[in-house]
């Protein structure tokens, strides 16, 4: 197994640890630890793709598993943020629905012998989701006095957080529609 694929699997492991840490009641510093785990996992997303292309290590495993593990990470963080009362459930449903839709298209393509890679709009969507999620995770740490960020209390979620969240939702919807449009031949073939 090459290095980019190992990084993908490490991201999956970090996601599981992130969920476990955030889920532990009364764990001191859990949101700070969770933020660091999420940021580290997100960085492996950028690093594995970069290394795969730069070192010519692109594999079918990576083409399929990298986006799938990304979806697991993003779904996990938004579910945890919804569970902590920071993100409305409808936002998380929109995000996860888009991820299932794209995964379904990938499975359909795979059944026809094709592999669909992420497009640039999807990559920007991922960046927007990571930035919004990181912002809210840091807020959780500040709200629970793990991190001295009292100045953010006035901004989150009303101004900056809401702007990041709406931008994230907009890109999620637009990228999902774009993905469906550019792969409509797969849907028409069934």
Note the pLDDT tens digit of each residue in 96-149: 999 999 888 888 888 888 777 778 898 899 999 999 999 999 888 776 665 655
The CATH number of domain 3-188 is 3.40.50.2000: no
Distance CA 38, CA 41 (A): 5
pLDDT given for residue 142 in this prediction:
73
Running DSSP on this structure, what letter comes out for residue 190?
Answer: -
pLDDT given for residue 154 in this prediction:
52
62 touches 52 (CB < 8 A): yes
136 touches 161 (CB < 8 A): yes
24-27 contact pairs (CB < 8 A, 24+): none
Calculate Rg over the CA atoms of the chain.
17
pLDDT band at 161 (very low <50, low <70, confident <90, very high): confident
33-75: per-residue pLDDT in tens?
Answer: 999 999 999 999 999 989 998 999 988 888 878 888 999 999 9
Mean of the pLDDT values across residues 1-27? 95
Q: Is the pLDDT of residue 76 over 70?
A: yes
Q: Is the pLDDT of residue 151 over 70?
A: no
Is 0.85 topped by the overall pTM?
yes
Of 80 and 123, the one with more pLDDT: 80
Distance CA 108, CA 27 (A): 42
User: Which pair of structure tokens corresponds to residue 32?
Assistant: 């700070």
Please, where are the H alpha helices in the chain? 3-23, 30-54, 60-83, 89-111, 120-143, 160-182, 184-188
């Amino acid at each position: 197994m090459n290095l980019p694929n190992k990084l993908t699997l490490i991201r999956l492991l970090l996601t599981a640890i992130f969920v476990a840490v955030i889920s532990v009641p009364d764990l001191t510093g859990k949101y700070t630890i969770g933020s660091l785990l999420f940021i580290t996992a997100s960085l492996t997303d950028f690093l594995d793709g970069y290394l795969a292309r730069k070192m010519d290590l692109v594999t079918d495993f990576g083409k399929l598993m990298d986006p799938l593990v990304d979806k697991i990470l993003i779904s996990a963080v938004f579910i945890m943020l919804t569970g902590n009362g920071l993100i409305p459930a409808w936002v998380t449903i929109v995000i996860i629905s888009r991820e299932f839709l794209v995964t379904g298209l990938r499975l359909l393509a795979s059944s026809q012998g094709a592999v669909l890679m992420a497009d640039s709009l999807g990559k920007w969507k991922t960046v927007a989701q990571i930035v919004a999620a990181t912002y809210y995770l840091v807020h959780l740490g500040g709200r629970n006095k793990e991190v001295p960020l009292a100045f953010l209390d006035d901004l989150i979620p009303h101004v900056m957080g809401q702007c990041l969240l709406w931008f994230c939702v907009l890109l999620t919807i637009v990228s999902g529609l774009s993905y469906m449009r550019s792969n409509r031949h797969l849907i028409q073939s069934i």
